Chain A
Amino acid sequence: MKLTQLMKKIGTFGAACSLALAGMSAQAQEEDTIKVGVLHSLSGTMAISETTLKDTMLMLIEEQNKKGGLLGKKLEPVVVDPASDWPLFAEKTRELITQENVDAIFGCWTSVSRKSVLPVIEELNGILFYPVQYEGEESSRNVFYTGAAPNQQAIPAVNYLMNDVGIKRWVLAGTDYVYPRTTNKILEAYLKANGVADEDIMINYTPFGHSDWQNIVSEIKRFGSQGKPTAVVSTINGDANVPFYRELGNQGVSAEDIPVVAFSVGEEELSGIDTKPLVGHLAAWNYFMSVDTDQNEAFIKKWHEFIGNKKRVTNDPMEAHYIGFNMWVKAVEKAGTTDTDAVIDAMVGVKVPNLTGGVSEMLPNHHIEKPVLIGEIQDNGQFLTVWQTEDLVPGDAWSDYLEGSKNLIADWTDPINCGNYNTKTKECLGAEAAE
């Protein structure tokens, strides 16, 4: 009894607080603004990655306002904190759209938070820009995926290892949740399609925040000592990476023996790590802070000025927000209104420059074109680009290597207008394809 009463009290208190805050911000604003929702966790486990993205959005909005805003109005950021709590992401989305009347939301990091926002954003017909690399197998009319799909990160990385480094044996190591599981399923299918035998693939999953890697690393060492060049493809997430790389270093496994290519280790993560044991290991992204272009230099300069700290780094999801925000601005200008349906239609085909020297286009499947870069970790926490695709790679919502999604495409333009269109049977699967 006591416990439930207490919980209730805490609940009402929290609700009252957030209402009061919302009321305050509502009063402070001018009538004629365009509201942009920022849905990133500022507390809890994911705060480590998402706080930076909130700051990036504030910077981009401030920048746009300096240029005179949008459609003659000022942009106004509405920041909420979903606190790394997945159901709260859905609630906050509802709050942003119904109470705050935002015209677009930039947010989410983990796939599970995106999945929890998905039904709400579709029901209320909002717009979400999702800036993180993810497992694909999804395309919603209301979501624009500015991060990498598997064919823009995982597959090119494996190609590089296979063709340029000559890797014959593969360890697919990941944290136990949807992104690594799906990515590894795609990679396994891809490797087998390329003639890699079953016994040359080792798959390993570990819980979130796994910190004792001793016997897994020793297992990898044994797996790699069979006379064939071996590499680890790591979808290990977040905090588990540090103990993993430390254990590799301590057990004497260097990048020259068994290189590790990671999809979740970027500049931001490296800034919290002693990078000595990581030097030479690889990461695949669509952007590195070390990329030498004028746009990137300007972006880094702006970021340092905005955040007031020269040591802060930039990373791939920040670039994704940069691209996504600029695309949205362009689409709104093109449509002449912030009306959701008009903007969604105007988005497809919008082209904006990215930070690596190319021009990215929003595709009909709501994914974008990106270059793929492979970099080696340097001891200063930056990447040295050792390989990159010649052209931009268009994002593929449905993987070509999975049995269930081989024939599916997403196309949100007429006449198909469907997130999971089967090219063989020529029909739209609708909600069924999620199964």
Chain B
Amino acid sequence: MNTTGQPRTHIGRLFLSLLLPLLLCVCTTAYAQNEEALAEQARAIAQASLMKRDDAIDALTQVAHPRVPVILSALLEGNLYSDDEDENRILIERADGSLENALTGESLGTDIDTKRIPVTTRMRTQIRNILARLNLDSENTQTRYEAVQRMIKEGIDENNVELLKARGEVEDARLVNETIESALALYDLQSDNERVRLSAIKSLRGSLVGETRNELRRLRDYDPVPAVQEAAAEALESIQTKLEFYKLVESIFFGLSLGSVLLLAAIGLAITFGVMGVINMAHGELMMIGAYTTWVIQQLFPDQIAWSLAMAVPAAFLVSGLVGIAIERGVIRFLYGRPLETLLATFGLSLILQQAARTIFSPLNRSVELPVWMSGSLQLNPALSLTLNRLYILAFGLIVFFLLMAILKRTSLGLKVRAVSQNRSMARAVGVRASWVDAMTFGLGSGIAGVAGVALSQLTNVGPNLGQAYIIDSFMVVVFGGVGNLWGTLVGAMGLGVINKFMEPWAGAVLAKVLVLVMLILFIQKRPKGLFPQKGRAAE
């Protein structure tokens, strides 16, 4: 305990030294003598070498001035600059890009040559710890939650326990409240009184905060009182059961989200391969085109990153759809009924499209920005958080799926598509323009591949090789689900996703992939037509 106690009190002292002067500042109006100290320490931060800068930060926190936290936050976010011409002038960049004097907050416009004051991870940790106390009263729930988490990580001691107690009384967000309770109980675990320890263990029984387990494990193994040891062991077990449950929930979510990616990749193929019977090896490249469309949209409207995806979805559908129609009219329609040649021709096409992307956009990956609303995660409790981008893509995949269902079942195009795929000559006999329907169907499937590309641009690299990574998986899903059956594609994609994610933890990512493939082959041996085979004469 002694060894860990040292840094704690050090940081505690730091907190105190920061906060006390701050409080004093509010009471007194005369901090003129501090102005000088502030200017001096801020300069020190700007001019100190990278290795010495953390001492300079410590020194700055000793200064009693309301601008101190402002300067620290700016440094943390990388918004602190020094003037190129006058090294002693320290500037802060505001959210709108204009500059202000770091010491006074006076606005300085935008046309000053500046040099960013770099900050390392070690300094970021240091500043965050200093700011955690202040963030405890932030208006943002996530910030408060993180502040408590950080305090727990640094260790709860007599310096910050009072603050947490005070916050706990006014806190109304459940997540933060529970974390504060855990923090307070963690503090009580250090008590000399075994009753306090016991009751603390009791209240920690359901806590999922990571540090709890470490503390309980320590008590279980080293506490002098056997009753406490037993209680700790018991609490650990109940926490473990809870954790196992959330781990299961998490695995299912991971599986479904992988499934939704597979679904998006495969659903276009389910139309072209499943309904039309065309083996389109260039399907992955149509996704790639969709992903590049997203990038182009972001380049055209650099100020509208938040809306870029909403614009990219229809754009990608159109672009990929048109390319698809061109492929159908230009190549595939001459090869109907000759699957081997279609396969080779489309494979060649896929190589051409890849190299075209290399020539047009360069072989380097393009950087597609994540809109802010796509990043981050939904923190349900300390042990379970669902990442937002995956949640959106899961929802998006399902929406696309049901839209496509509706198109096939409810529209006249859908009716014709089904008619042509079931009996081409009969459909033509009743007046359906089969070749037009072919082109439209292929365009629809290709367009959906483009839409999938938009989703993939948020998950992985946008580069010439994007399509290759998904083509095998897409075929796997369609074959597994049953050719010609959209529901089969849905169930197949989700099934493969979940199976994969349950197998990965114990088999490793490489072996899991192999096992899934082997299982799929065995399954196809048993049921050659997949999960949901087509029935009736149409299946012939």
Lowest 7 A-B CB distances belong to which pairs? Answer: A272-B365, A225-B210, A227-B214, A47-B363, A250-B387, A214-B254, A280-B121
Residues of A244-285 at the interface with B, using a CB-CB cut-off of 8 Å, are 246-247, 249-252, 255-256, 259, 268-269, 271-274, 276-277, 279-280, 282
Residues of B139-163 at the interface with A, using a CB-CB cut-off of 8 Å, are none
- Is B261 a contact of A384 with CB atoms below 8 Å? no
For residue B218, give the distance in angstroms from its CB to the closest CB of chain A: 9
- Is A256 a contact of B355 with CB atoms below 8 Å? no
- Is B261 a contact of A212 with CB atoms below 8 Å? yes
Residues of B366-390 at the interface with A, using a CB-CB cut-off of 8 Å, are 366-370, 375-377, 379, 385, 387-390
8 A–B contact pairs at CB < 8 A?
Answer: A205-B508, A212-B258, A215-B251, A215-B501, A219-B505, A243-B459, A271-B367, A274-B369
For residue A278, give the distance in angstroms from its CB to the closest CB of chain B: 11
Q: In the complex, which residue of chain A has the Cβ closest to the Cβ of B210?
A: A225
Q: Which residues of A contact B363 (CB under 8 A)?
A: 42-43, 47-48, 51
Q: How far is the CA of A96 from the CA of B115 in the complex (A)?
A: 48
Q: In the complex, which residue of chain A has the Cβ closest to the Cβ of B358?
A: A47
Q: How far is the CA of A211 from the CA of B469 in the complex (A)?
A: 9
- Is B121 a contact of A255 with CB atoms below 8 Å? yes
Contacts A45-B465, A48-B364, A272-B462 aside, 15 further interface pairs with beta carbons under 8 A come to: A2-B340, A42-B363, A43-B363, A206-B509, A209-B465, A214-B387, A242-B365, A243-B461, A246-B389, A251-B387, A252-B376, A272-B366, A379-B78, A384-B120, A385-B50
Q: In the complex, which residue of chain A has the Cβ closest to the Cβ of B257?
A: A214
Asked whether any CB of chain B lies closer than 8 Å to the CB of A404, the reply is: no
- Is A239 a contact of B461 with CB atoms below 8 Å? yes
- Is A273 a contact of B469 with CB atoms below 8 Å? no
B190-216 near A? 1/0 per residue, CB < 8 Å: 000000000000000000001101100
A324-340 near B? 1/0 per residue, CB < 8 Å: 00000000000000000
Binding site for A on B (CB under 8 A): 50, 78, 118, 120-122, 124-125, 128, 210-211, 213-214, 250-251, 254, 257-258, 261, 340, 344, 355, 358, 363-370, 375-377, 379, 385, 387-390, 459-465, 469, 500-501, 504-505, 508-510, 513
Asked whether any CB of chain B lies closer than 8 Å to the CB of A376, the reply is: yes
Take A206-B510, A215-B501 as given contacts and tell me if A272 and B364 are in contact as well, using a CB distance cutoff of 8 Å: yes
Q: Which residues of B contact A103 (CB under 8 A)?
A: none
Q: In the complex, which residue of chain A has the Cβ closest to the Cβ of B379?
A: A252
Q: How far is the CA of A218 from the CA of B370 in the complex (A)?
A: 21
Asked whether any CB of chain B lies closer than 8 Å to the CB of A378, the reply is: yes
For residue A430, give the distance in angstroms from its CB to the closest CB of chain B: 34
Q: Which residues of B contact A209 (CB under 8 A)?
A: 465, 469
Take A207-B510, A212-B261 as given contacts and tell me if A272 and B461 are in contact as well, using a CB distance cutoff of 8 Å: yes
Contact of B118 among A206, A214, A384 (CB under 8 A): A384
Asked whether any CB of chain B lies closer than 8 Å to the CB of A351, the reply is: no
Q: Which residues of A contact B385 (CB under 8 A)?
A: 251-252
Asked whether any CB of chain B lies closer than 8 Å to the CB of A33, the reply is: no
Number of interface residues of A (CB under 8 A): 56
Q: In the complex, which residue of chain B has the Cβ closest to the Cβ of A219?
A: B505
Binding site for B on A (CB under 8 A): 2-3, 6, 42-43, 45, 47-48, 51, 165, 176, 204-207, 209-212, 214-216, 218-219, 225-227, 239, 242-243, 246-247, 249-252, 255-256, 259, 268-269, 271-274, 276-277, 279-280, 282, 376, 378-379, 384-386
Contact of A273 among B261, B367, B459, B501 (CB under 8 A): B367
Q: How many A-B residue pairs have CB under 8 A?
A: 142
Q: In the complex, which residue of chain A has the Cβ closest to the Cβ of B370?
A: A274
Q: How far is the CA of A210 from the CA of B365 in the complex (A)?
A: 16
Take A212-B261, A273-B365 as given contacts and tell me if A205 and B118 are in contact as well, using a CB distance cutoff of 8 Å: no
- Is A207 a contact of B509 with CB atoms below 8 Å? yes
Q: Which residues of A contact B365 (CB under 8 A)?
A: 48, 239, 242, 269, 272-273
Q: How far is the CA of A191 from the CA of B161 in the complex (A)?
A: 38
Q: Which residues of B contact A384 (CB under 8 A)?
A: 50, 118, 120
Q: How far is the CA of A212 from the CA of B510 in the complex (A)?
A: 12
- Is B513 a contact of A207 with CB atoms below 8 Å? yes
Q: Which residues of A contact B377 (CB under 8 A)?
A: 250-252
Q: In the complex, which residue of chain B has the Cβ closest to the Cβ of A217?
A: B387
Q: How far is the CA of A8 from the CA of B280 in the complex (A)?
A: 23
Q: Which residues of A contact B344 (CB under 8 A)?
A: 3, 6
Contact of A227 among B211, B254, B469 (CB under 8 A): B211
Take A216-B509, A250-B377, A268-B364 as given contacts and tell me if A242 and B370 are in contact as well, using a CB distance cutoff of 8 Å: no
- Is A205 a contact of B510 with CB atoms below 8 Å? yes
- Is B376 a contact of A376 with CB atoms below 8 Å? no
Contact of B124 among A216, A243, A271, A280 (CB under 8 A): A280
Q: In the complex, which residue of chain B has the Cβ closest to the Cβ of A84?
A: B465
Take A214-B257, A250-B375 as given contacts and tell me if A378 and B118 are in contact as well, using a CB distance cutoff of 8 Å: yes
Q: How far is the CA of A41 from the CA of B122 in the complex (A)?
A: 40
- Is B370 a contact of A256 with CB atoms below 8 Å? no
Q: How far is the CA of A277 from the CA of B358 in the complex (A)?
A: 26
Q: Which residues of A contact B463 (CB under 8 A)?
A: 48, 239, 272
Interface centre among B254, B258, B504, B509, by most chain A C-beta atoms within 10 angstroms, is B509
Q: Which residues of B contact A273 (CB under 8 A)?
A: 365, 367
- Is B124 a contact of A256 with CB atoms below 8 Å? yes
Q: How far is the CA of A378 from the CA of B119 in the complex (A)?
A: 9
- Is A256 a contact of B505 with CB atoms below 8 Å? no
Q: In the complex, which residue of chain B has the Cβ closest to the Cβ of A375?
A: B120
Q: How far is the CA of A384 from the CA of B505 in the complex (A)?
A: 35
- Is B257 a contact of A250 with CB atoms below 8 Å? no
Q: How far is the CA of A272 from the CA of B358 in the complex (A)?
A: 14
- Is A226 a contact of B214 with CB atoms below 8 Å? yes
Interface centre among A2, A211, A243, A385, by most chain B C-beta atoms within 10 angstroms, is A211
Q: How far is the CA of A211 from the CA of B455 in the complex (A)?
A: 13
- Is B508 a contact of A215 with CB atoms below 8 Å? no
- Is B510 a contact of A218 with CB atoms below 8 Å? no
